[in-house]
Amino acid sequence: IVGGNVATIRSHPWMAAIYHHKRQEYFLCGGSLISPCWVLTAAHCFPPDAATKAHQYVVYLGKNALNESNPLTEQRFWAEKIILHSQFDEQKGFNNDIALIKIQCSKETSTVKTVCLPPPNQKLPVGFTCEIAGYGKQGQYSWEYSKLLRDASVELISENTCSQYYTTGITDNMFCAGSPSWKTDACQGDSGGPLTCEVLGQMFLYGIISWGDGCAKETKPGVYTQVTKYNQWIADNTGVAAFSTG
């Protein structure tokens, strides 16, 4: 996250940290807990054959920092199943950048809680302020990930405006968000993590951090997977209801 603030997991209790477990655990991506047993993330976090190697992946919930473990706040899980969207298009600009991870079901605590899915196809007004969270880089040229969970505010950008910023590759399954000053953005390591918007006092998962040209670059906003296009896909693959208010 560029231009944001240190955040606590209690303010983003659906935040997941996804690791590849080889001889050590390597941090890969963020994710969001959408039901006690399912984490939603980005398909591009995984190699194409990840579904056959789910047991190599680990999910942490309740994590404040990448480099320290806290048994009081954390829950750790092996991935039981990984489902990559079958139309995820790595060549054509990350269309359908969405994936699901099944875990042994988590227990709700003050640091581990599900986020609501918004109703199908619901769109919020342009300029609406939402928040992003992650453990990723604090600047495009930073050497390392933040380690501490951070968050930032971003505003929703219209399809039209975004297609002017990125002249190829913005599909209906994506949307853009950024700050008017171009000072806040998601960055490398934040992928897969949440863009949440508060509606009527509830936090809803509208976006999955997906891609962008660099980080916090002028006229190059962050691009997000439009979660409201995938209610049916999520329901079909998990049985999690299309519209779930925690």
Which residue ranges make up the site for ligand 4AZ (CB under 6 A)?
A: 185-188, 190-191, 209, 211-212, 215, 222
Q: How far apart are CA 112 and CA 33, in angstroms?
A: 8
Alpha-carbon distance of 197 to 207, in angstroms, equals 9
Residues 192-215 as b or e (16 or more Cβ within 10 Å = b):
bbbbbbebeeebbbbbbbbbbeeb
Strand 38-41 relative to strand 25-35, pairing: antiparallel
Answer whether 34's CB lies under 8 Å from 114's CB: yes
Q: Could you give phi then psi for residue 192, rounded to 5 degrees? A: 90, -20
**Residues acting as catalytic residues:** 44, 97, 191
Rounded Cα gap, residues 207 and 49, in angstroms: 24
* Cβ-based nearer residue to ligand 4AZ, 5 or 69: 5
* Minimum gap (Å) between residue 10 Cβ and ligand 4AZ: 24
Residue nearest to ligand 4AZ (CB): 212
- The nearest distance, CB 212 to ligand 4AZ, in angstroms, is 3
Strands 129-134 and 25-35 come out as: unpaired
Quote the distance between the C-alpha of residue 148 and its chain's center.
16
Closest contact distance (angstroms) between CB of 126 and ligand 4AZ is 19
* Smallest separation, CB 190 to ligand 4AZ (Å): 5
